[in-house]
Structure 1
């Protein structure tokens, strides 16, 4: 944990908060009540992250219209962005997972790693206040702001342009399932090309899930031999 604290640039007074932030529901369920999952911390961290990013963009970009502010914030706090943060922190190695989730490759699952980032931010906030959480958000997320302001890539448009190189191509996005409570819903979408699945993705909104599915489809279709 000391290595993770060094990467965060923050030392916890209450180490149990960090342990809680790294405990996935699969592990908590197997503990039969001894451990609490990080879902509540994730809920809090999502709001903290959104508020800090929105406050920063509002104060530092007075000329940006609401639409651009919204798109930039979305690009900075989306699952894809948080997975990058998790990779930089090496967060997957510290997660407490249940046996089934471990065997199923949970340490590399984007949604689990993104949720853990939010949970860690909430743990820092509860332990050291908003200033400490803001420093971490500044270091790992707002430092990529310039890339976000260049307008986040529209994967759906890019996929459409890719498949239209040949005539008669038909793309269709299909909502596969929804998981989680209303306040923390996660959507899973599949994109089909001419009736065959070419990509799947998940997100906290249908639009984000479609973008992630399109991104996966592009990566697959651009592989040599496909």
Structure 2
């Protein structure tokens, strides 16, 4: 059963910074259309109860702090990134053009199957990058494995599997894989060239080191070729 992340200590601190009593916070939340009893606010701060998403959003507004401050964590899951942006499932689903039930199922399963348009809308709404979304879904290692196999063999066979993970059009993925395959093959050509020319071992070690560095940055290089941008921090205040 999913529960809203919440830090009683941060909630108490945020209220103290505003110089408000629990009654004043309750009054302000009611003015926002979210009525709540002061005793419930006290229970949140004591850790005996957890606020709902609606309560969390309203409390963040009243205390003039980002939802992440009250959550007390850095967002790690799709649901937590949504909460950080103070978006309900229904509101986010409407924004990305997806049925709310389907989106809720994606959060619960920790697996994203949206199309390219929905995915672009999702990362924009949550201030993420496609790369970060892949990481949130726990598919980093799978992507790295496919990239390694693709550049070492027949890269065309891996265009579709990679595109399904990163949710980028197959033309862009194919261009990136072809470039990486060509670059990787260059190391073998240079190595054999030095070997046939009977150059000293330092030349061979140099090529081997460059090849190792290339493989180490394989995923980074892929996203660079795709032209992926970084994440955006959640807005501070709404």
Do they superpose with TM above 0.5?
Answer: no
| More helix as a share of residues | 2
Q: Which has the larger radius of gyration?
A: 2
What TM-score, normalized to structure 1? 0.26
| More strand as a share of residues | 1
What TM-score, normalized to structure 2? 0.25
